[in-house]
Amino acid sequence: MKHEMTNGLSNFADNLQDKIDRLNNPTVMGLDPILDYVPDQLRDYFFEQCEDPAMAAGLSILEFNRRLIDATADIIPAVKPQLAYYEQYGVHGWEALRQTIAYAKSKGMIVIADGKRNDIGSTASAYASAILGDTELRPGSRQEMLGADCITVNAWLGIDGIEPFLKLCRENGKGIFALVRTSNPSAIDIQDLKLEDGRTVYEAMADKVNEWGSDLIGNCGYSSVGAVVGATWPQQAAELRARMPHTMILVPGYGAQGAGAADAVAGFGPDGRGGIVNASRSLMTAWKKHKMDHESFDLACRKEALEMRNNLRRALESRS
């Protein structure tokens, strides 16, 4: 079901929350593949077929992703490919990314491009067009490139670098997640610094995100302008929820980075909604945890995804 804004366009936050509600699973699968994650037999097949090793790498990763998507599309609402993992393989990696996005969308999954883009003016507009919108190829002719539904952005350059993305949120029903409180340990070096007015840097950023998304709040009560808040900072996540009551929150840090389900849902809204938790390595390499054959990586991923879903459900139930 597509949710309509007052201008008749689809609202990203409504679509994402609807998908989460229907599957009863606030999980996004991070697709951050490296060749070592691909089983030897699958990888060797493409390297034997292709003279160009970069092409073989791209095809291997694409097939790996397709099998992960096939294994989880009925239980996980969204995927989050990290662009750098594809860019390192050049044009063939970029093509694997493009086809991964198209395949995920064909299976009904929402796609969050993890690009953390950060620039201003025409450069920011070019990033927005390439990842979320369409690009002019000749006068009067435009074509969608990656076609993601949403992108992560680094908003430290201020509204100049965010406005081109907001434009596509308003006009095309797209979404963004701005970095507010990241999950890495050294985040405290910058994000915890105190400003003259007593706020921390991350609190000031949260206030800006809350402001930028005020005109994009959907029927679900949350905005298409979201925030990234790491699961490794549960106390701050709860405090940030109070500062951003209508902000959809993307939560990295679950699983391989050490955060548990209770940590991951600390920043969800009082209604138990308004958040989505990312897991990447813990899903892609789940065959190790479950002591399954590497060739069964997709079945292991499904097993881990179901376990993660159940853990998140229990954590949300215990809050109520």
Residue positions annotated with a catalytic role = 116
Residue 117 β-bridge partners: 153
Q: What is the DSSP secondary structure assignment for residue 193, as one 8-state letter?
A: P
Ramachandran assignment for 229, one of left (phi > 0), alpha (psi -120 to 50 degrees), beta (any other): beta
Residue 223 β-bridge partners: 217, 247
Q: Copy the structure tokens of residue 146.
A: 């990656």
37 in helix, strand or coil?
helix
Ramachandran assignment for 319, one of left (phi > 0), alpha (psi -120 to 50 degrees), beta (any other): alpha
- List the one residue out of 41, 2, 38 whose CA is nearest residue 22: 2
Is 241 in contact with 226 (CB distance < 8 Å)?
A: no
- For residues 198 and 294, give the distance between their C-alpha atoms in angstroms, rounded to a whole number: 51
Q: Copy the structure tokens of residue 307.
A: 């376990």
Residue 14: CB atoms within 10 Å: 22
Contact residues for 171 (Cβ-Cβ < 8 A; gap 6+): 9
Is 126 in contact with 118 (CB distance < 8 Å)?
A: no
Q: According to DSSP H, which parts of the chain are helical?
A: 12-23, 40-49, 53-72, 83-87, 90-106, 121-131, 159-172, 188-191, 201-212, 234-243, 261-264, 281-284, 286-289, 297-319
6 in helix, strand or coil?
coil
